[in-house]
Amino acid sequence: MINRIIYLVLLLGLTSCGGGGSTPASPVTPTPVVPPVPERIDFSSTGNLGFFDPSITSEPNSNRLWMSYSAVDSSSYYDAALYWGVSIRLAFSDDNGVSWQDAGIVVGPNSEDIVGPMNENNPTGNIPAGSQGIWQSEMSSIVYDISAPINERWKLIWHQYLNADLVSYFVDHGWLSIKMAASPLELATAPTIKLFGAAGLQDDGKNIASPVFSPVGGAPAIQLNTALTKTLGADLNELNFCIFVEPGFHATNNALYLSMYCADASTVPQTGEVTPYIVYFRCNSPCSVDKAPSWEYVGRLLSPTDAQNETGDHFYQAPSIEEKNGRTYLTVTPVDNTAKNDRYNGCRVYEFTDVNSNQLRRDNGKLVEIARIDGDANSHHGACEAYSGIGGGILLSQFGVAGTADAFKVYKSQVKLP
């Protein structure tokens, strides 16, 4: 059972009749307030283990909403309770999110191949010959960019990486890819651009032939941690050791914005751990997404200290940006890392003071919480998607029973943006 999501307080007063000798009115018994109950989204043609990580945008001049999502399927290599294959699919809704239908296409596939040997700069990270490899596609963000050329207006960005022998090589063999097309359905056949690389990316991942079988060959168009040359006053050195995952697009008439999770590896020699930040970029319209000079680093949005002070968790992940009624919001997931398992712990919504700055609304230094979404206590839940006006409110991803069709679920939280 999903925990209560939002708590309301009724302030009740006592009424009395005027005049001498009148009898005081009896106290009014408050009517119990029942919190909204989350509703699971379910539709056919998703992964046999469910789906996760929804991203939503609307189709112009239409009532149709489009969702990109991570479909999770059993792997031919491993038991479904241990590991799985993840691909990116599209779904749509013509009734404002009341119901959804899978569009019948895979936009970002996964592939299983026996890989290796693959050599690392540090030999301890070598992938031996005969390794069971799965090239994964997950953590997508879909957007309609009205200022782009027609054949680039629909954009989908996602994370591609290699898992080999149950080890996920986010750093060594992982990058952000993008597809662009004139319509959502055309994204399926649009060419994949290996867009952003980051610190630690290995040359072996360029090879589309044996023994690597990379889904996209060559080097990334932009080595994001070193290639940017202009900023809005932010410190580019903050990106030097970033490992980037979980991209979130947001488009306006003037720019394309990108929020991401950065695992800063510069602190590893001192602490043995990365330092996680939410970072922010802007590309002015018309945005040439695969050209480094088009991108500006705006700065760090959130730090581990913010999470520790605001929610008692360790850091934030899974950023998503949405606008409603002229206000722009950031939805993020607090992460509890007590057991060193990066457990998602619900979602929080904060507000930008200005979409072009890296500043969020604060009161005496404390972040102003706009909304909170919770799932099952002590479970892995988060990676929320807020979309203005959608029926059912902000969407929440919830992990269930490993190895079953209930492993990966998405719920309508009934919590809405103001």
Q: What is the per-residue pLDDT for 122? A: 79
Which CATH number is correct for 40-412, 3.30.70.420, 2.60.120.620, 2.115.10.20, 3.40.50.9100? 2.115.10.20
**Amino acid identity of 269?**
P
Token representation of residue 394: 């902000």
C-alpha to C-alpha distance for 338 and 240, rounded to whole angstroms: 27
Domain boundaries, the chain: 40-412
Mean pLDDT by 10 residues, the chain (418 residues): 26 28 52 75 92 96 96 96 96 96 97 95 88 98 97 98 95 96 98 96 93 96 92 92 96 97 95 95 96 96 96 96 96 94 96 95 96 94 93 96 94 96
Residues 46, 405: Cα–Cα separation, whole Å: 10
Please report the pLDDT score of residue 44 as a whole number: 87
Query: What tokens does 115 get?
Result: 């890989």
